[in-house]
Amino acid sequence: QAALPNGELLAISGASGAHLATAAEKAAFDANAAIAARAFSTLTGHMKEAQFPFAVALAALAVERKAGYPAFDAATEKPFAGIPTTVLATAIGYHQFEGMGLIKAA
């Protein structure tokens, strides 16, 4: 079990869009004011098995480039103004398959 870092945290959400699963992930993110989630499925659709590796890749790019992503949906996503040194990547499936990884520079 990893503790979340102090301060702002960028999260790259690979939630499937299934109503119950996606709502549960959103509620977890909303419960922590420091988490700014980016739900990329709104841009790409759900890529099934590639969803989590893609979330990890987006997280790694943010860490490597020291730049967060702008809100993909400004109506539902909080701004992120910091430099991402650690990024949370998640995947929440339709009926099963949940995963998360805390990505940081080596």
The CA distances from residue 60 to 27, 50, 55, 83, in Å, are: 24, 15, 9, 13
Cβ neighbours for 32, distance < 8 A, ≥ 6 positions apart: 4, 9
Structure tokens at 4: 């979340």
pLDDT of 37 above 90: yes
pLDDT at 1: 55
The CA distances from residue 22 to 18, 27, 73, in Å, are: 6, 9, 15
- Distance CA(52)–CA(94), nearest Å, equals 13
- Distance CA(34)–CA(49), nearest Å, equals 29
DSSP label at residue 49: G
The answer to whether 18 and 39 are in contact (CB under 8 A) is no
Quote the pTM value.
0.89
Confidence of residue 2 (pLDDT cuts 50, 70, 90): low
